[in-house]
Structure 1
Amino acid sequence: MTELTESLPLRARLRAALSVAMKRRDRVAAAALRSALGAIDNAEAVDAAEVNAGAIETSAVGLGVAEARRRELTESDIERIVRAEADERVTVAKEYDSLGRADRADQLRAEAAALIAHLSAN
């Protein structure tokens, strides 16, 4: 990582790394990075229980009036999500090892390593 990318927030570093992984055709890293970015986006989503639906005639009208603000995650929240993604891959890799699927376990460990590499940049 360059000095410039080390100063970026974790989410921005992951997005930059995804672009690099795709250019290098590194499917393992790209899959892990896409998954982590998706998990971050999902964590920001509005809880469906907070959304109140009513009658159509009482609905607000106009561009963007039905939009709900997404949750704002702190840098530590994002780091915790990425660490959980990496830990999950390591756990599942152990299960694959016990089932004799070393090829899939190795792939999951490589994905976990790709995620952990961005965490250690902090």
Structure 2
Amino acid sequence: MRARDKAAVSALRTTLAALDNAEAVPVDEAGLRGAALEQSPVGAGATEAARRELSERRVVEVVRTEAAERLEAAAQLTAPAHAARAAQLRAEAAVLLQFLDGTGLGA
């Protein structure tokens, strides 16, 4: 990916973060309360939780949602002062939609 393609870099970074969040497992807060410090897990990886494995359908849903959020935000930026930001959001959405269409970044 070229360094000058800021829209693609921004879109892919935030979408990867959204996918990472979607893989996270919910924390059982009831189990966290009332535990004594001596009973807490110790050692490397003791507090790591297995992550969910997303299906291809779920990954597509997350990417589509990210693109839709950008398009919605761009539509709300109607003031001339926000034209550049709206254009950037539309470009980011286009990058994500290209990946869904299978054309990617056109290496």
Tell me which of 27, 32, 41 is aligned to 1:60: 41
Shift of 1:80: 0.4
User: TM-score by structure 2 length?
Assistant: 0.82
Q: Over the residues paired in the alignment, what is the CA RMSD in angstroms?
A: 1.8
Identity %: 47
Name structure 2 gaps, 5 residues minimum. Answer: none
Q: How many residues align?
A: 100
Shift of 1:24: 3.6
Q: More helix per residue: 1 or 2?
A: 1
CA distance in 2, matches of 1:82, 1:25: 22
Deviations 1:33-78 (A, max 9, x none): 1010010001112223357222111223332222111122111111
- Hey, what does 2:18 align to over in structure 1? 39
CA distance in 1, matches of 2:30, 2:98: 38
| Structure 1 runs (4+) greater than 4 angstroms displaced | none
- Hey, what does 2:79 align to over in structure 1? 99
- Hey, what does 1:8 align to over in structure 2? none
CA distance in 1, matches of 2:95, 2:15: 11
- Hey, what does 2:8 align to over in structure 1? 29
